[in-house]
Amino acid sequence: MTQSITRIRPDDWHLHLRDGAMLAGIAPETARHFARAIIMPNLVPPVVRGADADGYRKRILATTGPDFTPLMTLYLTEETDPADVVAAHKAGIITAVKMYPAGATTNSASGVRDFDRVRGVLEAMAEAGIPLLCHGEVTDHSVDIFDREAVFIDRVLDPIRRATPALRVVMEHITTSDAVAYVRSQPENLGATITTHHLVINRNHILVGGIKPHYYCLPVAKRETHRVALVDAATSGDARFFLGTDSAPHTDDAKENACGCAGCFTATNTLSILAHVFEEAGALDKLEGFTSRNGPEFYRLPVNTGTLTLEKSVTPISYPAKIETGVGPVTVFDPGFPLFWRVL
Ligand code: NCD
Ligand code: ZN
């Protein structure tokens, strides 16, 4: 008998859609399966004001059609005007604000250098109930890249949360057992997104047997014990952990390069991979919480009304190795094992 599961349609709580020809090429990969997504603002130039977010939202909707809802974010800079943030939120244009430490990742040059300079914005956000989404890595050159998330918790995140305890915060794309433990130790107003690829790869996948640029993303995948901690958190049923794919397309020439860009593109096969990972963990019953219930609960939004069905086939499913876009091909994340769950 064919095994199939029908669940509430999922959302993606951390997604890069880019703009222009890249947006047009890759947005259908998400809109096909997901009802809503939190849209990252790290365009060039970044989405910093409410009016920028409104324009970008319209360009996304023109590509996807109305069956997909982009939940917009603003890119926090040291110049961000608290009144603009609050007004954009009140007008329903934005859902959250994203904080990148300056230089932490792709297109983050306008990020925050001095966290004291954004204190006023954070206080206004706490009062208005606007979540802060953190790229949780310090950028200090003396800190090893594999330690940057754990150090961020101690040096930046915990001090911000102590200074502004009412602020709702999401640690984006967590990659360490330190982050899992920190989230578990904190009250409900701290949540965390976990990507698909960090549930699958550890740092060996990037570095052993030749360098694999399509597995390079930020925060970089850590050692196996951390991957296991992430699977444990995602499949535990703890509502503070939810899916944020961080699907981040770059063209192949930008990835397969002497200075390759960070980002894994998982939109196309994310749900098939997640079903595999949750099944392996004996936790298929927790998949709906992770993809469809925990996120809306944190964001205080209704769960989706539609459903999505996954069916397990006997032979491996096929999916495109690359998505062709007007700016070049984008390689789809290869989990390194055959997939059997197909989205109907
Ligand atoms: C993201 C991108 O390409 O925009 N890259 C990545 O490796 N995750 C930026 C980010 O979310 O850090
Ligand atoms: Zn991201």
Q: What integer pLDDT is reported at residue 90 of this predicted model? A: 98
Q: Which helix (H) or strand (E) holds 311?
A: strand 307-312
Mutate to test the pocket of ligand 1, among 42, 201, 261 (most ligand atoms within 8 A of CB): 42
Residue nearest to atom 9 of ligand 1 (CA): 106
CB under 5 Å of ion ligand 2: residues = 246
Tokens of 235: 């499949």
99 lines ligand 1 (CB under 6 A): no
186-239 pLDDT tens trace: 999 999 999 999 999 999 999 999 999 999 999 999 999 999 999 999 999 999
106, pLDDT greater than 90 = no
Determine the average pLDDT of the residues in 113-129. 96
Looking at ligand 1, which residue's alpha carbon is closest to its atom 11?
246
Angle at 273 between CA 94 and CA 171, to 5 degrees: 40
pLDDT at 148: 98
* CB of 203 sitting under 6 A from ligand 1: no
Average pLDDT over residues 136-158: 97
Q: Give the tokens for residue 9.
A: 């349609």
> Residues 20-38: pLDDT tens digits?
999 999 999 999 999 999 9
Task: Indicate if the pLDDT at residue 134 is higher than 70.
Answer: yes
Does position 281 have pLDDT exceeding 70, yes or no? yes
Q: What is the pLDDT of residue 105?
A: 84
pLDDT in tens, 305-314: 999 999 999 9
Confidence of residue 1 (pLDDT cuts 50, 70, 90): low
> Which atom in ligand 1 lies closest to the alpha carbon of residue 262?
7
The length of the chain, given as a count of residues:
344
DSSP letter at 251 equals -
- Compute, in angstroms, the gap from residue 315 CA to the centroid of ligand 1: 33
Q: Which of 12, 178, 238, 246 is the catalytic position?
A: 246
pLDDT, average across residues 253-266: 98
pLDDT computed for residue 2 by the predictor: 78
Distance (angstroms) between ligand 1 centre and the Cα of 186 equals 26
Mean pLDDT of 274-291: 98
Q: Which of 39, 40, 106 to mutate to test the pocket of ligand 1 (most atoms within 8 A of CB)?
A: 106
Read off the pLDDT band of 258 (50, 70, 90).
very high
pLDDT > 90? residue 104: no
246 is catalytic: yes
Instruction: Give the atom of ligand 1 at the shortest distance from the alpha carbon of 14.
Output: 11
Name which of 121, 220, 133, 205 is nearest 169 in CA terms.
133
Q: Which of 278, 286, 285 is nearest to 340 (CA)?
A: 278
Q: What is the pLDDT of residues 47-100, one digit of tens each?
A: 999 999 999 999 999 999 999 999 999 999 999 999 999 999 999 999 999 999
Counting ligands in written order, the one closest to the CA of 215 is: 1
pLDDT at 107: 86
Pocket flag, ligand 1, residue 254 (CB < 6 Å): no
Please give the distance, rounded to the nearest whole angstrom, from the Cα atom of residue 2 to the centre of ligand 2: 36
Ligand 1 pocket residue status of 110, Cβ below 6 Å:
no
Q: What is the mean pLDDT of the chain?
A: 97
Task: Please tell me the distance between residue 15's alpha carbon and the centre of ligand 2 in angstroms.
Answer: 6
Is the pLDDT at 343 greater than 80, yes or no? yes
Going from the Cα of 181 to the center of ligand 2, the distance in angstroms, rounded, reads 21
Residue listed under structure tokens 């954070």: 122
Question: Which CATH number does 3-343 carry?
Answer: 3.20.20.140
At 280, which amino acid appears?
E
